[in-house]
């Protein structure tokens, strides 16, 4: 006859649980005490391994216990032959796995596993890949496991092709797996490297295939940002390494017979001194040049050096030679006070696209437009459209890009400033490209290259200011600029007009030693010390501060007068 | 063991072990009612049962040639008229259940014995009629069935298996269920030939809830979600073998080919098909079959799944996810019936990877599905479609003909002419169940659908329900005064009850709704086919749902479920196709479907078939003409899911006990204590489950709550977090499409 059943009351169950918990706590604390006692007295025995294993399985995050465990193992290694040692270490794998079962994001457990693999005479790499697969299936974004996977891939010599296949499986299973997309973007350039000097991150054939897949993903779910990031990575032009974009020589004003000036080199990205070119005057290498960067940074887009020409009354040829680019020559001397040459275009990776690449990008553009019709107001579609148009040709698509960015500002108000900055970048780069074309047409000494102005274009940010390093007159009046930090690159600038902006901090301007005229009317300058710091500009003759808050204060104006009273022109009101 | 004397008075007597009856029985027992649950058959499930191969053949012979009628019984037992009836009491004879099946016809296309290896199976198939087919083995088996072993699975096989196997059997049946489940897993993993497979797996479900043992039944399969999750893993399979390493894109295209080229056969399939099956093999592997009389699926968020979880009955059950939903896609236009099978993109990743639809279609489909999963929030967009059809609505959303076919035929499973509202509701049901356990919205009860009623019986038995199989009822005892059913007569013995729940096939004819005639009677045509390979071979064994929309070829929509050994319904290398549709002539009604799926060049080879028609009374009036406390439970209906059955069980329960809770969560074994009546312990005493069963170490290693929460994320993983947030948000709106 079977028993009659009775269900335990919740109170009974709670009491039981409580009792159990007490018991566990007691055991755990007992174990900890035991383990620490052993460690203090340097006892490295099997019992120690057993205790720590039990404790760690309960709490895999106890780093000290893992350390003790390693100490014990290393101490034991002395007495074991290779085979036994290997078995011992493999046993550790079991301990780690039971810990991972408890907490698959335990730092200690993953670290210990890597330690075992590194210590093992013949690590079982292939099995470890399987383990990674297992844990990535459980939690596809477990970064411990992703890290460990990279470690195992390196050890097992698993080729990037296999890994690429693996990411494909993950993505097909769940296209929201950003980790997999990201990993893919790291592997693709290894498997399908782009030929040199193409603006794409991977070879053209691979690009076409990848775009096909990722477009399917975004059509399936355009609100999922993971594939969009990948898509944007694919279409955006890449600049593999900084290239030389501009070289110039500008004579110091008022130099005597023996002309002195600056050689200014501009790169598309920041470079260190090692990458700087050699300079030769009339084929004679100039020795002992000291290169300086505007902010004194170790890496910079702009570098300059003082150069003395032997005799100003003669023509000289300056030869500037970088390792990575053909040499450039500047014709100077004999009254030529300035010679500037543009080497490359303004935009990143400005190489011409091949027909295939162009038609592929056009296809992406069409697909995005279709998506935009099907799902209007999707920010990812618009962002990608901006990217694609930019990659195709930012100048001819300027209006469209601008329009999409305005849409985005409206759709995604939290990032409105970012889109505003992007608009500024677009406007600025376009103007700079015009500037470059005009300047190049005129030749090295041309007048057009001397001045650059963008008035009332609602710029919120100055971008690519390094391309103005050789300009003498820069006018950015009536914009929305708040920061002048990028303007520290304007090392050759003599006249700088920044009227009608929202500038309050002048510190970055204090290094522009060539400045003679600075106009800051109608800005937000409040602090006297900001203004008085301009005394560092030794060549400054004219300063306009009209319409700044600082000028409304009697005390302040007095102080400014005191500090800068010796200027030829000082406008405060 | 001597059968204990049964009590004669119960709160509820339940006659028949179909699903509705079993759920009611469990629910009533769960709230402490005294239950007697009996069935005339020697197996559980009634019209919901699953049989092994010998079992189904026996069922066929019973259905085609009904056993001699009761008169004999009356000699064996005291006649009904000998019973003492009180004043006002009268006896009402129960109805004849055999009328519920007709047109039963089995055909065997296999030779009796496999030809010599050199011979090929193009020898003309040996056809057997239903009557011939009850092979000697089966009859022998039947004669061995005894009252002590009331299960079709255990009772009829002794002579089929060799002695050694029988021994194994015995020892294995003692093993706890959880062990057996593990064995089962192994059996699946291994490539074992049918002949060498161990017999443990049969035992896993051989044991029905014997009343004497169930109460102590502590071993059980894990709760539903866990089990299924494991299954999922099993399905996903190991990473692709290295031979495919440079097929980065071929991986995708192969699959695409599989689904587009209807008849493509993978090498694996060819290998499998090389085995020539013989009738004798089927008999030998009889217990590997679990053949459903009423194949059905569960929607992953349907009422049965929710009930299994909330009631904790899930622990007695195991499920398998349907791995693919197929559809029949016309290739030609117009009259021509040419077409092929195609996997329906259900989940988001399906839509992403499929090559069956274009880029723009992907977007349109996803957009529509997202709309559908919360369509009630967009009533304004639906107003003009109140009176219009689903098809019109789909067109208005810009869906292409391709997509309309996927949505109507495979997801909503309604015709395009149904009202818009119905279509939307059905589509949402499909979507809501998506992504809970697998990539399709459906679960299949492993080892056949007959496991489900048994699970509820088991719960009932745990709560002290009394079970007697092979107990035919001859009469109801009705108090004509107040028109209440006060008991019944079974094998001449009278049992009294407050409420009687009875399977509708026993309904006395004058209780039929329309005074002796069923109104709203439906008929279902069913076919069970065994083939040597899948209707659409794939590199892994699939569990398939296919719904064929009506065409001139098959005027009624046909539901097809195909499974193999992994679903525990047939031996490895055999596929079981279960077809059903509304209709009165199974072989005619389903001929079109069979032609499309099996009977075509390159199609699977048909090994064995069974056609039958079932009477469906689920829409009939089962209430108005019967006594108030007699509750009639309809058998399986023609729908794909179990929803109606659960609703009926719930209705019956609340009619009996309006103020009680329907199947509250059953306690886990560690929450239960037994006080043994008649043993030394007295009432109120119980064994405190000390941690004694566990070793100290185990205790220590369990659940330390000192683990520190993961709070650090770095590098690209922080970007991942964004993706996650996005995803979670996504799930709220689209339920993980």
**How many A-B residue pairs are in contact by the CB < 8 A criterion?**
185
The CATH class of the A26-234 domain is mainly alpha
- Tell me what the mean pLDDT of segment B16-20 comes to: 96
Instruction: Kindly determine whether residue B710 and residue A375, on different chains, have CB atoms separated by under 8 Å.
Output: no
DSSP B407: I
What does the domain layout of chain B look like in residue ranges?
A: 346-441
CA pair distance A117, B179, nearest whole angstrom: 35
Q: pLDDT at position B386, please?
A: 84
- B690: nearest CA partner in chain A: A16
Which run of H or E residues covers position A473?
Answer: strand A473-475
Q: Which CATH number among 1.10.1370.30, 2.60.40.1130, 3.40.50.2000, 3.40.50.11060 corresponds to the domain A244-342? A: 2.60.40.1130
Q: pLDDT at position A282, please?
A: 86
Chain B residues with beta carbon closer than 8 angstroms to that of A58: 700-704, 706
Q: pLDDT at position B69, please?
A: 56
Among partner residues B359, B462, B730, which is closest to A219 by beta-carbon distance? B359
**B129 pLDDT exceeds 70?**
no
Q: Which of residues 613-632 of B touch A (CB under 8 A)?
A: none
| Nearest chain A Cα distance for residue B187, angstroms | 22
Report pTM: 0.76
Q: Which CATH number among 1.10.10.10, 3.40.50.300, 3.20.20.70, 1.10.405.10 corresponds to the domain B346-441? A: 1.10.405.10
B527, B610 contact by CB (below 8 A): yes
| Nearest chain B Cα distance for residue A400, angstroms | 23
Chain B residues with beta carbon closer than 8 angstroms to that of A59: 704, 706-707
Instruction: Kindly determine whether residue A61 and residue B707, on different chains, have CB atoms separated by under 8 Å.
Output: yes
| Nearest chain A Cα distance for residue B104, angstroms | 42
Supply the Cα-derived Rg of chain A in whole angstroms.
33
Instruction: Kindly determine whether residue A161 and residue B464, on different chains, have CB atoms separated by under 8 Å.
Output: no
Residues in a beta bridge with B473 = B490
Q: How many other C-beta atoms lie within 10 A of the C-beta of residue B1?
A: 5
Q: pLDDT at position A325, please?
A: 73
| Nearest chain B Cα distance for residue A226, angstroms | 6
**What 3-state DSSP class applies to A15?**
helix
Q: Which CB contacts under 8 angstroms, 24+ apart, belong to B433-437?
A: B433/B299, B433/B300, B433/B301, B433/B302, B434/B300, B434/B346, B434/B347, B434/B735, B434/B736, B434/B737, B435/B347, B435/B735, B435/B736, B435/B737, B436/B300, B436/B301, B437/B225, B437/B228, B437/B229, B437/B232, B437/B300, B437/B319, B437/B321
- B212: nearest CA partner in chain A: A2
| Nearest chain B Cα distance for residue A374, angstroms | 8
> What is the DSSP secondary-structure string of A507-518?
GGGGG-TT-SEE
Q: Which of residues 291-320 of B touch A (CB under 8 A)?
A: none
CA pair distance A420, A432, nearest whole angstrom: 18
Residue B237 touches partner A, C-beta closer than 8 Å: no
Query: What are the tens digits of pLDDT across the range A498-516?
Result: 999 999 999 999 989 889 9
Q: What phi, psi does A82 have (nearest 5°)? A: -60, -40
Instruction: Kindly determine whether residue A370 and residue B360, on different chains, have CB atoms separated by under 8 Å.
Output: yes
- Tell me what the mean pLDDT of segment A281-299 comes to: 88
Is the ipTM reported for this complex over the cut 0.85?
no
Residue B703 touches partner A, C-beta closer than 8 Å: yes
**A40 pLDDT exceeds 90?**
yes
User: Nearest-CA neighbor of B472 among B47, B135, B42?
Assistant: B42
Of the ranges B123-137, B382-396, B516-530, which one carries the lowest mean pLDDT score? B123-137
**B272 pLDDT exceeds 80?**
no
Using pLDDT thresholds of 50, 70 and 90, give the confidence band for residue A556. confident
Among partner residues A5, A57, A61, which is closest to B708 by beta-carbon distance? A61
| Nearest chain A Cα distance for residue B672, angstroms | 5
CA pair distance A169, B255, nearest whole angstrom: 13
CA pair distance A309, A282, nearest whole angstrom: 10
Of the ranges A438-447, B68-77, B704-713, which one carries the lowest mean pLDDT score? B704-713
Chain A residues with beta carbon closer than 8 angstroms to that of B692: none
Query: What are the tens digits of pLDDT across the range A216-273?
Result: 999 999 999 999 999 999 998 887 678 888 999 888 766 555 567 889 999 988 999 8
Instruction: Kindly determine whether residue B251 and residue A168, on different chains, have CB atoms separated by under 8 Å.
Output: yes
Q: Which residue has the higher pLDDT, B421 or A257?
A: B421
Q: Say which residue the tokens 């399986």 belong to.
A: B636
B291, B282 contact by CB (below 8 A): no
Residue B700 touches partner A, C-beta closer than 8 Å: yes
Query: What are the tens digits of pLDDT across the range B613-641?
Result: 999 988 888 888 889 899 999 999 999 99
**What 3-state DSSP class applies to A382?**
helix
Using pLDDT thresholds of 50, 70 and 90, give the confidence band for residue B332. low
Chain B residues with beta carbon closer than 8 angstroms to that of A153: none
Q: Are strands B630-633 and B493-503 parallel, antiparallel or unpaired?
A: parallel
Chain A residues with beta carbon closer than 8 angstroms to that of B693: none
**A312 pLDDT exceeds 80?**
no
Q: Which CB contacts under 8 angstroms, 24+ apart, belong to A115-123?
A: A115/A70, A116/A89, A116/A92, A117/A151, A117/A152, A117/A155, A119/A73, A119/A89, A120/A86, A120/A89, A120/A90, A121/A82, A121/A85, A121/A86, A122/A86, A123/A155
User: Nearest-CA neighbor of B328 among B148, B572, B579?
Assistant: B579
- Tell me what the mean pLDDT of segment B443-461 comes to: 95
The b-or-e profile of B407-422 (16+ CB within 10 A means b, else e) is bbbbbbbbbbebbbbe
Using pLDDT thresholds of 50, 70 and 90, give the confidence band for residue B229. very low
CA pair distance B511, B530, nearest whole angstrom: 39
Query: What are the tens digits of pLDDT across the range B672-689?
Result: 665 544 444 344 433 333
CA pair distance B486, B89, nearest whole angstrom: 9
Instruction: Kindly determine whether residue B212 and residue A106, on different chains, have CB atoms separated by under 8 Å.
Output: no
Which run of H or E residues covers position B721?
Answer: helix B716-734
Among partner residues B249, B363, B723, which is closest to A226 by beta-carbon distance? B723
The two three-digit tokens of residue B412, written as one number: 């909503």
**A116 pLDDT exceeds 70?**
yes
What does the domain layout of chain A look like in residue ranges?
A: 26-234, 244-342, 426-571
Chain A residues with beta carbon closer than 8 angstroms to that of B371: none
The CATH class of the A426-571 domain is alpha beta
3-state helix vs strand vs coil in chain B, percent to 5: 40, 15, 45
Of the ranges A559-563, B63-67, B653-657, which one carries the lowest mean pLDDT score? B63-67
Residue B364 touches partner A, C-beta closer than 8 Å: yes
Q: Which of residues 420-449 of B touch A (CB under 8 A)?
A: none
The two three-digit tokens of residue A334, written as one number: 């004999």
**B725 pLDDT exceeds 90?**
no
Query: What are the tens digits of pLDDT across the range B27-64?
Result: 999 999 999 999 999 999 999 999 999 999 999 999 88
Instruction: Kindly determine whether residue B349 and residue A175, on different chains, have CB atoms separated by under 8 Å.
Output: yes
Instruction: Kindly determine whether residue A221 and residue B348, on different chains, have CB atoms separated by under 8 Å.
Output: yes
Percent of chain B at pLDDT > 90 equals 48
Within B285-358, residue ranges assigned H as helices are 303-311, 348-353
A505, A498 contact by CB (below 8 A): no
Chain B residues with beta carbon closer than 8 angstroms to that of A225: 722-723, 726
Instruction: Kindly determine whether residue A4 and residue B677, on different chains, have CB atoms separated by under 8 Å.
Output: yes
- B702: nearest CA partner in chain A: A58
Q: pLDDT at position B672, please?
A: 67
Q: Which of residues 172-191 of B touch A (CB under 8 A)?
A: none
Instruction: Kindly determine whether residue B720 and residue A179, on different chains, have CB atoms separated by under 8 Å.
Output: yes
CA pair distance B322, B561, nearest whole angstrom: 9
User: Nearest-CA neighbor of A227 among B246, B435, B714, B352?
Assistant: B352
Instruction: Kindly determine whether residue A172 and residue B236, on different chains, have CB atoms separated by under 8 Å.
Output: no
CA pair distance A178, B713, nearest whole angstrom: 14
Average pLDDT, chain B: 74
User: Nearest-CA neighbor of B291 among B107, B153, B467, B459?
Assistant: B153
The two three-digit tokens of residue A371, written as one number: 């998506």
Instruction: Kindly determine whether residue B704 and residue A225, on different chains, have CB atoms separated by under 8 Å.
Output: no
Chain A residues with beta carbon closer than 8 angstroms to that of B7: none
């Amino acid at each position: 006859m079977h028993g009659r059943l009775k269900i335990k009351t919740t109170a009974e169950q709670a009491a039981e649980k409580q009792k159990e918990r007490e018991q566990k706590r007691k055991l755990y604390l007992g174990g900890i005490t035991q383990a620490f006692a052993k460690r203090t007295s340097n006892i490295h025995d099997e019992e120690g391994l057993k205790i720590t294993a039990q404790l760690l399985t309960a709490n895999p995050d106890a780093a000290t216990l893992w350390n003790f465990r390693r100490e014990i193992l290393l101490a034991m290694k002395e007495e074991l032959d290779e085979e036994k040692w290997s078995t011992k270490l493999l046993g550790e794998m079991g301990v780690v796995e039971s810990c991972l079962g408890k907490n698959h994001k335990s730092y200690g457990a993953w670290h210990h596993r890597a330690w075992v693999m590194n210590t093992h005479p013949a690590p079982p790499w292939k099995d470890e890949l399987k383990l990674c697969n297992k844990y990535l299936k459980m939690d596809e974004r477990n970064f411990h496991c992703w890290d460990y996977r990279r470690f195992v891939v390196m050890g097992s010599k698993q080729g990037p092709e296999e890994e690429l296949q693996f990411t494909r499986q993950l993505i097909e299973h769940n296209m929201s797996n950003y980790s997999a997309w990201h990993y893919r973007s790291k592997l693709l350039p290894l498997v399908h490297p782009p030929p040199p000097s193409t603006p794409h991150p991977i070879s053209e054939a691979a690009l076409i295939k990848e775009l096909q897949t990722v477009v399917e993903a975004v059509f399936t779910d355009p609100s999922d940002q993971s594939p969009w990031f990948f898509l944007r990575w694919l279409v955006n032009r890449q600049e593999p390494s900084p290239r030389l974009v501009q070289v110039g020589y500008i004579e110091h004003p008022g130099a005597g017979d023996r002309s002195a000036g600056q050689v200014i080199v501009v790169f598309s990205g920041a470079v260190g001194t090692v990458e700087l070119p050699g300079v030769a005057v009339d084929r004679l290498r100039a020795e002992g040049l000291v290169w300086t960067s505007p902010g004194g940074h170790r890496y910079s887009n702009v570098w300059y050096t003082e150069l003395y020409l032997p005799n100003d009354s003669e023509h000289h040829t300056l030869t500037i030679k970088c390792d990575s680019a053909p040499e450039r020559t500047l014709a100077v001397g004999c009254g030529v006070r300035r010679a500037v040459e543009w080497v490359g275009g303004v935009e990143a990776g400005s190489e011409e696209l091949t027909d295939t690449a162009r038609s592929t990008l056009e296809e992406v553009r069409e697909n995005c437009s279709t998506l935009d019709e099907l799902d209007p107001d999707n920010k990812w579609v618009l962002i990608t459209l901006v990217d694609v148009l930019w990659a195709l040709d930012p100048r001819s698509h300027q209006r469209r890009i601008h329009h999409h960015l305005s849409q985005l500002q409206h759709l995604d108000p939290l990032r409105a400033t970012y889109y505003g900055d992007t608009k500024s970048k677009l406007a600025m780069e376009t103007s700079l490209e015009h500037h470059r074309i005009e300047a190049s047409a005129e030749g090295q000494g041309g007048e057009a290259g001397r001045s650059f102005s963008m008035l009332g274009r609602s710029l919120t940010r100055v971008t690519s200011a390094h391309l103005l390093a050789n300009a003498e007159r820069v006018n950015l009046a009536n914009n929305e600029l708040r920061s002048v930090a990028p303007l520290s690159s304007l090392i050759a600038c003599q006249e700088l007009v920044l009227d009608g902006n929202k500038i309050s901090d002048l510190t970055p301007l204090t290094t522009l030693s060539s400045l003679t005229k600075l106009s800051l009317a109608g800005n937000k300058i409040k602090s006297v010390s900001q203004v008085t710091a301009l005394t560092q500009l030794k060549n400054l003759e004219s300063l306009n501060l009209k319409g700044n808050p600082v000028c409304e204060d009697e005390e302040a104006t007095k102080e400014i007068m005191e500090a800068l009273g010796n200027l030829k022109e000082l406008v405060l009101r | 063991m001597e059968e204990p004397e049964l009590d004669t008075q119960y709160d509820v007597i339940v006659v028949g072990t179909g699903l509705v009856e079993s759920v009611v029985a469990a629910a009533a027992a769960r709230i402490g009612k005294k239950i007697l649950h009996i069935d005339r058959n020697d197996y559980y499930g009634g019209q919901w049962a699953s049989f092994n191969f010998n079992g189904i053949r026996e069922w066929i012979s019973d259905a085609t040639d009904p056993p001699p009628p009761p008169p004999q019984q009356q000699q064996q037992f005291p006649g009904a008229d000998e019973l003492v009836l009180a004043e006002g009491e009268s006896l009402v004879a129960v109805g004849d259940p055999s009328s519920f099946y007709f047109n039963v016809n089995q055909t065997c296309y296999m030779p009796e014995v496999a030809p010599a290896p050199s011979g090929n199976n193009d020898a003309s198939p040996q056809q057997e009629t239903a009557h011939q087919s009850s092979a000697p083995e089966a009859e022998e088996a039947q004669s061995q069935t005894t009252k002590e072993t009331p299960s079709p699975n255990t009772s009829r096989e002794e002579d089929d298996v060799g002695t050694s196997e029988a021994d194994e059997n015995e020892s294995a049946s003692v093993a706890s269920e959880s062990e057996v489940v593990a064995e089962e897993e192994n059996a699946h993993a291994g490539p074992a030939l049918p002949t060498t497979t161990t017999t443990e797996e049969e035992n896993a479900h051989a044991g029905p809830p014997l009343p004497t043992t169930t109460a102590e039944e502590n071993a059980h399969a894990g709760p539903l979600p866990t089990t299924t999750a494991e299954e999922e893993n099993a399905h996903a399979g190991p990473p692709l073998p290295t031979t495919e390493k440079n097929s980065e894109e071929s991986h995708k295209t192969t699959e695409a080919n599989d689904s587009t080229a209807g008849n493509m056969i993978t090498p694996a399939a060819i290998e499998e098909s090389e085995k020539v099956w013989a009738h004798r093999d089927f008999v030998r592997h009889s217990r590997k079959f679990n053949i459903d009389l009423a194949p059905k699926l569960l929607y992953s968020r349907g009422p049965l799944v929710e009930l299994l979880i909330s009631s904790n009955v899930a622990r007695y059950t195991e499920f398998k996810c349907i791995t693919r939903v197929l559809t029949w896609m016309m290739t030609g236009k117009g009259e021509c019936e040419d077409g092929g099978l195609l996997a329906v993109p259900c989940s988001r990743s399906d839509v992403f990877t499929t090559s069956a639809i274009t880029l723009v279609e992907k977007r349109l489909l996803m957009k529509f599905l997202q709309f559908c999963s919360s369509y009630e929030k967009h009533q304004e967009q639906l107003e003009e479609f109140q009176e219009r059809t689903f098809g019109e609505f789909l067109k208005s959303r810009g869906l292409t003909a391709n997509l309309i076919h996927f949505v109507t035929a495979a997801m909503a499973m309604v015709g395009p002419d149904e009202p818009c509202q119905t279509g939307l509701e059905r589509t949402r049901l499909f979507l809501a169940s998506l992504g809970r356990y697998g990539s399709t919205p459906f679960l299949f009860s492993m080892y056949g659908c007959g496991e489900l009623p048994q699970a509820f019986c088991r719960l009932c038995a745990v709560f002290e329900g009394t079970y007697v199989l092979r107990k035919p009822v001859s009469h109801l005892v009705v108090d004509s005064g107040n028109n209440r059913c006060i008991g019944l007569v079974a094998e001449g013995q009278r049992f009294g009850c407050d409420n009687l729940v009875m399977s509708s096939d026993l309904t006395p004819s004058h209780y039929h709704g329309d005074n002796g005639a069923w109104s709203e009677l439906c008929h279902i045509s069913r076919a069970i086919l065994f083939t040597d390979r899948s209707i659409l071979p794939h590199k892994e064994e699939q569990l398939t749902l296919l719904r064929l929309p009506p065409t001139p070829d098959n005027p009624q929509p046909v539901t097809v479920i195909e499974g193999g050994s992994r679903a525990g319904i047939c031996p490895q290398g055999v596929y079981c196709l279960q077809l059903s549709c509304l209709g009165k002539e199974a072989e005619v009604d389903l001929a079109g479907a069979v032609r499309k799926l099996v009977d075509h060049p390159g199609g699977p080879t048909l090994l064995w078939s069974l056609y039958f028609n079932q009477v469906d009374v689920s829409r009939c009036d089962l209430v108005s003409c019967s006594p108030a406390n007699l509750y009639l439970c309809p058998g399986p209906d023609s729908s794909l899911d179990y929803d109606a059955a659960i609703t009926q069980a719930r209705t019956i329960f609340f009619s009996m006990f309006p103020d009680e809770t329907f199947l509250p969560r059953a306690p886990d074994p560690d929450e239960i204590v037994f006080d043994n009546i008649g043993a030394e312990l007295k009432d109120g005493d119980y064994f405190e489950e000390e941690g004694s069963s566990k070793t100290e170490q185990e205790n220590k290693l369990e659940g330390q709550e000192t683990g520190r929460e993961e709070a650090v994320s770095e590098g690209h993983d922080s970007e991942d977090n964004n993706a996650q947030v996005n995803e979670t948000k996504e799930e709220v709106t689209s339920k993980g499409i």
